[in-house]
């Protein structure tokens, strides 16, 4: 079974922009955050397994370009 399955994906909306985040393992625990729709590749990897508020903090702080 793959480490990142669709069962663990969660949708999140930040300022009217949709995001998908899921937990996985890439050199340890990570959270993959992808902007929707998938019209261009906008995925970031953050260490650890983040909650929805933590994902929002990453998008707003470390990767504000994902909100543009």
Q: Residue 4: its pLDDT value, please?
A: 45
- Which contacts qualify for 39-47: CB closer than 8 Å, 24 or more apart? 42/66
How far apart (Å, rounded) are the C-alpha atoms in residues 26 and 10? 19
The reported pTM is 0.79
Q: Residue 38: its pLDDT value, please?
A: 80
User: pLDDT tens digit string along 26-56?
Assistant: 778 999 999 998 877 789 999 999 999 999 9
Q: Residue 1: its pLDDT value, please?
A: 39
Query: Mean pLDDT in the chain?
Result: 87
Q: Residue 46: its pLDDT value, please?
A: 92
Nearest to 63 by CA among 6, 21, 9: 21
């Amino acid at each position: 079974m793959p480490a990142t399955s669709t069962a663990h994906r969660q949708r999140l909306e930040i300022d009217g922009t949709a995001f998908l985040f899921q937990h996985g393992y890439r050199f340890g625990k990570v959270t993959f955050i992808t902007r929707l729709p998938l019209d261009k590749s906008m995925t970031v990897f953050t260490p650890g397994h983040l909650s929805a508020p933590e994902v929002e903090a990453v998008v707003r702080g470390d990767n504000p370009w994902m909100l543009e």
